[in-house]
A = this chain, B = another copy of it.
Amino acid sequence: MEITLERKTHRDGRPVYQQIADQIREAVAARRLEVGTRLPPIRELAKRLGVNRDTVAVAYEALARSGLVKSTVGRGTFVTDPPLPALPPPPFEPALSSLTERLLVLERSRPRFGSAVDAVPMHALIPDPSLYPADAFRKSLNRALLAGGPELFLYGGPQGHPRMREVLAKRLCSSGVQISPDELVLCHGASQGIGLALRLFAEPGDVIAVEEPTYNNVLAAASGLGLQTVPVPMRDDGPDLVALERALKRPEVKLLYTIPTFHNPLGTTTSVSHRRALLAVATRCGKPVIEDAYEADLGFEGTPVPPLAAFDDAGIVVHLSSFSKSLFPGVRVGAVAAHGRLVDALTALKQATDLSDAMPLQAALAEFIECGEYDRHLGRMRRLLRGRRDALLEALDEHLPEGSRWTRPDGGYQVWVELPPGIDTSELLPDAVAAGVLFAPGAQFHHDGRPSNALRLTFAQADEAALRHGVEILGEVIRRRGAGAPRRIDRVHI
């Protein structure tokens, strides 16, 4: 059958997914598509029509909801047999925006780990609650509440609590970033910061450059904002600069999102010289850079490399900080640091988004940092994480098959493992879950979700013994897939 799209945007017409669904529906009604016919795979039809795969996926889902087709994982989508009788008109259901429909599809593509309670948790990048200094923080919170009085329960203004901004500006300055408290906009975790920073420069229809692989939630955030992504491949020392320049030169590409320190998912840190070179490329192309420094406080080996923002003479870097990984996510304090007009614009965006954050938590965090508890906590975390990293790398060396490679992080929680070619880690995951180990398959860090032979392992929640046990299981699961005997000799680091 032939499918014709009138236009690729839906202003004044039907959304593209609906055009596709309608034409298939008509073809079924006119018996041009027989019962039992297999519809083309989503990827293939998307390519043929020159549309996003999500669009086709949404069209197939709409058909499935009205009972016209049925999808079976691994087999495909078929015209139902027997076709269901025409249903009475459904009760009125409000139409979701197509951005939201797309986000739903993306959301459903996340791997679910719900049932695997006893498995070794090497999938999540969330610190273990048993490490949280909850009691010390509660004391700081009480001190802040008593000192701040009822006024602390007011709106605090879109930039956030002044004391917390002072404390953070001081820390950023000592890491080399010249920033004043007035140039910070505090926000609801770095995740909200990502959204604000993206919206600063890009709007629906625009494109953003992302590293590949990259933090999966930035892909979801971009999708929810109607932004396309162009991938810049990661090399040993950060994003490929030739590909970066090619991407940033395109007028529709508005910015680069980068994670130079303890990259997610790679765990790697780019060198000072590469940071300077990257900024030179961005400056030449006239495009800003969003630096996500979400794990910057968690370096446990060597001298910390200064943030990208420390080398930013032109004021083109927007710097994101977070306490979700270094302390705990529940404090929901992140920050965006920028210069000049960008600060006004960020403030306006934050104001239009949710007016203000919760001042009690920001005041408590300021107190917690000032009284030294945060640095004491960081000291404990760094020692612990270094031990875990060593245990994990040793276990990988012992249990992974020949031809595997992995990174060696100097901080943070994650190691990126490339298995021998030919293994699709998304397909491996169900076996691993059944055998008792959880990991994040590489595909979810690809801008287009394409298959990957890589995976991310974290040492955020599993202790050293659990990490060794988990990697042993993982090695076995891979071997059962026939990927050879464990390698014993070479360490190959990416």
B-contacting residues of A (Cβ < 8 Å)? Answer: 11-12, 91-101, 103-104, 106-107, 126, 129-130, 132, 134, 137-138, 141-142, 145-146, 149-156, 187-189, 191-192, 195, 199-206, 217, 220-221, 223-224, 226, 251-252, 254-255, 283, 286-288, 314-316, 324, 328-332, 340-342, 344-345, 347-349, 351-361
Interface pairs (12), CB distance under 8 Å: A11-B252, A95-B286, A96-B341, A97-B199, A107-B344, A132-B153, A154-B329, A189-B356, A192-B354, A203-B204, A224-B352, A331-B358
Q: Is the CB of A358 within 8 A of B355?
A: no
Question: With the chains together, A138 CA to B147 CA distance in Å?
Answer: 12
Apart from A191-B354, A329-B356, what are 10 other A-B pairs with CB-CB below 8 Å?
Answer: A94-B286, A96-B342, A97-B203, A99-B199, A104-B344, A153-B329, A195-B354, A220-B352, A221-B352, A330-B358
**Chain B nearest CB: distance from A33 CB in Å?**
26
> Among B199, B223, B255, B330, which residue has its beta carbon within 8 angstroms of that of A360?
B330
Which residues in B have their C-beta under 8 angstroms from that of A126? 154-155
Q: Chain A binding site: helix, strand, loop or mixed by DSSP? A: helix
Given A254-B97, A344-B104, A91:B315 Cβ within 8 A: yes
Which residues in B have their C-beta under 8 angstroms from that of A315? 91, 93
Given A155-B126, A328-B154, A354-B189, A287:B98 Cβ within 8 A: no
**Chain B nearest CB: distance from A353 CB in Å?**
6
Q: Is the CB of B191 within 8 A of A355?
A: yes
Which residues in B have their C-beta under 8 angstroms from that of A101? 345
**Chain B nearest CB: distance from A109 CB in Å?**
11
Complex: chain B residue closest to A347, CB-CB: B107
**Chain B nearest CB: distance from A27 CB in Å?**
25
Which residues in B have their C-beta under 8 angstroms from that of A355? 189, 191, 217, 329
**Chain B nearest CB: distance from A350 CB in Å?**
10
Question: With the chains together, A145 CA to B359 CA distance in Å?
Answer: 17
**Chain B nearest CB: distance from A215 CB in Å?**
12
Question: With the chains together, A360 CA to B327 CA distance in Å?
Answer: 15
Given A134-B150, A153-B129, A316-B94, A100:B217 Cβ within 8 A: no
Q: Is the CB of A205 within 8 A of B11?
A: yes
> Among B12, B191, B201, B361, which residue has its beta carbon within 8 angstroms of that of A252?
B12
Complex: chain B residue closest to A130, CB-CB: B150
Which residues in B have their C-beta under 8 angstroms from that of A129? 149-151, 153-154
Question: With the chains together, A205 CA to B98 CA distance in Å?
Answer: 12
Q: Is the CB of A328 within 8 A of B153?
A: yes
Q: Is the CB of A104 within 8 A of B330?
A: no
Complex: chain B residue closest to A353, CB-CB: B195
Which residues in B have their C-beta under 8 angstroms from that of A145? 134, 138, 141
Q: Is the CB of A153 within 8 A of B97?
A: no
> Among B206, B220, B224, B329, which residue has its beta carbon within 8 angstroms of that of A155?
B329
Which residues in B have their C-beta under 8 angstroms from that of A204? 203-205, 226
> Among B150, B153, B199, B345, which residue has its beta carbon within 8 angstroms of that of A331?
B153
Q: Is the CB of B153 within 8 A of A134?
A: yes
**Chain B nearest CB: distance from A368 CB in Å?**
12
Q: Which of A97, A200, A217, A354 has the most CB of B within 10 A?
A: A354
Given A153-B134, A361-B358, A94:B329 Cβ within 8 A: no
> Among B188, B329, B345, which residue has its beta carbon within 8 angstroms of that of A104?
B345
Complex: chain B residue closest to A288, CB-CB: B94
Which residues in B have their C-beta under 8 angstroms from that of A357? 188, 332
Question: With the chains together, A192 CA to B328 CA distance in Å?
Answer: 22
Which residues in B have their C-beta under 8 angstroms from that of A205? 11, 204
Which residues in B have their C-beta under 8 angstroms from that of A254? 95, 97
Which residues in B have their C-beta under 8 angstroms from that of A344? 104, 107
Q: Is the CB of B130 within 8 A of A138?
A: no
